[in-house]
């Protein structure tokens, strides 16, 4: 006499998901719906989310996930057991298991979750005899590279790079190099590359001096990398402490704002080639002497040229 055997159907699937830090993320899981279902989500052995008796069960949920998980409850009857994980943290990375059980059998789906915090900005500043580059709140650990224009032997760049992590697991990377020769001889480029190499953020800085006489046109050069995407060009001026915006151009809207319309001009068409130079039309010593900054901002790039401008009063001859 042959004994009846009961077979339990088990499926094992695996998915890779990358979530962005502090954003919501979906961990996919589906099953063949056949009446009532039990759903358990685990990270390793840690309870993440459970659903049975037709409702969410939060009693065993680990406090790390408290208030941050949900299912697509109206779609469970159609076989959707996907998990929504809100405000993703670095600590959320790891291997998750979605376990579903119906009268037709059990299924296990595994999701490998990785986390990345995107590079939002790279700052480069010249302070005395050093160039400092910094990027914050990044994950995983990025890499930082220096270069100059005109090119120079990178072995001549004394490079001190420091990498630190905060309590959230996000990295700050900061690097310092010494000025090469005369401060105005080089443009300094700093590139930060994300750990998965999906992002390359580049910033640059140049510092220079310019001298002119009252009443004579003065050309303030600003040569920048040619923008490949929509960009914003901005000129600011500092006389004492607070900077004022004297010129902006947005290539997306093609909007121009020039608060020095009768004092300065700029060729917009040249800006598309990377030439953002400004011309002072009738400079005055008491008004236009100061610190000018030309900034080009575009997709994953920011480039600046700082110029100290000194407008002098022409000497007058003495009649004897």
pLDDT exceeding 90 applies to what percent of the chain?
Answer: 82
Q: What is the mean pLDDT of residues 144-151?
A: 92
Contact 113, 27 (CB under 8 A): yes
Q: Which residue has the higher pLDDT, 10 or 158?
A: 158
Q: What is the mean pLDDT of residues 90-101?
A: 97
**Which is it for strands 187-193 and 255-258: parallel, antiparallel or unpaired?**
unpaired
Question: Does a cis peptide bond (omega within 30 degrees of 0) precede residue 150?
Answer: yes
Q: What is the mean pLDDT of residues 151-177?
A: 90
Q: What is the DSSP letter of 224?
A: -
CATH fold of 117-198 reads Immunoglobulin-like (2.60.40)
Residue 8 in this model has a pLDDT that exceeds 80? no
pLDDT exceeding 70 applies to what percent of the chain?
Answer: 95
Q: What is the mean pLDDT of residues 88-115?
A: 96
pLDDT single digits (tens) 11-56: 557 899 999 999 999 999 999 998 899 999 999 999 999 999 999 9
Overall residue count recorded for the chain in this entry? 320
pLDDT band of 316, cuts 50, 70, 90:
low
Q: What pLDDT, on the 0 to 100 scale, is given for residue 248?
A: 97
Residue 317 in this model has a pLDDT that exceeds 70? no
Q: What pLDDT, on the 0 to 100 scale, is given for residue 159?
A: 77
Q: What is the DSSP letter of 64?
A: G
pLDDT band of 168, cuts 50, 70, 90:
very high
Q: What is the mean pLDDT of residues 148-176?
A: 90
pLDDT band of 318, cuts 50, 70, 90:
very low
Which CATH code fits 9-116? 2.60.40.10
Q: What is the mean pLDDT of residues 143-169?
A: 89
Topology alike, domains 9-116 and 206-313 = yes
Contact 57, 73 (CB under 8 A): no
Task: Write the CB contacts of 31 (distance below 8 Å, at least 6 apart in sequence).
Answer: 37, 79, 81, 100, 102, 107
Neighbouring CB atoms inside 10 A of 64's CB total 12
pLDDT band of 210, cuts 50, 70, 90:
very high
Annotated domain spans of the chain: 9-116, 117-198, 206-313
Give the sheet arrangement for strand 290-298, strand by strand: 143-149, 187-193, 200-213, 301-312, 290-298, 232-238, 243-250, 255-258
- Mean pLDDT, all residues of the chain: 92
**Alpha-carbon dihedral sign for residues 299, 153, 126, 122:** positive
What 3-state class would DSSP assign to 25? strand
Distance CA 263, CA 265 (A): 7
Contact 133, 140 (CB under 8 A): no
Q: Please tell me the pTM assigned to this model.
A: 0.86
Neighbouring CB atoms inside 10 A of 166's CB total 11
Q: What pLDDT, on the 0 to 100 scale, is given for residue 179?
A: 87
pLDDT band of 228, cuts 50, 70, 90:
confident
Q: What is the mean pLDDT of residues 259-272?
A: 94
What are the structure tokens assigned to 106, written together? 């059990």
Q: What is the mean pLDDT of residues 169-186?
A: 92
Residue 126 in this model has a pLDDT that exceeds 90? yes
Q: What pLDDT, on the 0 to 100 scale, is given for residue 14?
A: 86
Which has the closest alpha carbon to 132: 169, 167, 157?
A: 157
Q: Which residue has the higher pLDDT, 60 or 85?
A: 85
Q: Which residue has the higher pLDDT, 94 or 261?
A: 94
Q: What pLDDT, on the 0 to 100 scale, is given for residue 152?
A: 86
What are the structure tokens assigned to 204, written together? 């640059």
Q: Which CATH architecture has domain 206-313?
A: Sandwich (2.60)
What are the structure tokens assigned to 270, written together? 């040249």
Q: What is the mean pLDDT of residues 66-70?
A: 97
Which has the closest alpha carbon to 313: 227, 186, 216?
A: 216
Distance CA 39, CA 82 (A): 10
């Amino acid at each position: 006499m042959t004994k009846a055997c009961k077979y339990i159907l088990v499926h094992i699937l695996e998915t890779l998901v990358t979530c962005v830090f502090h954003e919501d993320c979906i961990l996919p899981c589906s099953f063949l719906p056949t009446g009532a279902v039990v759903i358990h989500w685990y990270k390793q052995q840690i309870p993440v989310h459970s659903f049975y008796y037709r409702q969410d069960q939060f009693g065993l949920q680990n406090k790390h996930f408290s208030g941050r998980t949900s299912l697509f409850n109206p779609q469970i009857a159609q076989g959707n057991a996907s998990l929504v994980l809100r405000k993703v943290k670095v600590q959320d990375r790891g291997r998750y298991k979605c376990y579903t059980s119906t009268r037709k059998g059990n299924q296990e789906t595994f999701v490998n979750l990785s986390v990345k915090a995107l590079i939002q900005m790279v700052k480069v500043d010249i302070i005395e005899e050093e160039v400092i580059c910094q990027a914050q709140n990044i994950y995983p650990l990025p890499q930082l590279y220096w270069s100059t224009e005109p090119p120079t032997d990178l072995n001549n760049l004394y490079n001190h790079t420091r990498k630190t992590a905060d309590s959230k697991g996000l990295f700050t990377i900061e690097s310092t190099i010494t000025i090469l020769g005369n401060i105005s001889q080089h443009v300094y480029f700093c590139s930060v590359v994300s750990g998965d190499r999906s992002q390359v953020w580049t910033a640059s800085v140049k510092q220079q001096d310019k001298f002119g006489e009252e009443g004579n046109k003065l050309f303030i050069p600003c040569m920048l990398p040619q923008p490949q995407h929509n960009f914003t060009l901005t000129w600011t001026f500092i006389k004492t402490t607070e900077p004022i915006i004297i010129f902006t151009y947005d290539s997306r809207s093609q909007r121009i704002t020039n608060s020095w319309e009768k004092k300065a001009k700029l060729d917009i068409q040249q800006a598309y080639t990377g030439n953002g130079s400004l011309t002072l039309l009738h400079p005055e010593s008491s008004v236009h002497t100061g610190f000018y900054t030309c900034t080009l901002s575009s997709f994953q790039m920011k480039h600046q040229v700082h110029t100290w401008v000194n407008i002098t009063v022409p000497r007058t001859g003495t009649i004897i």
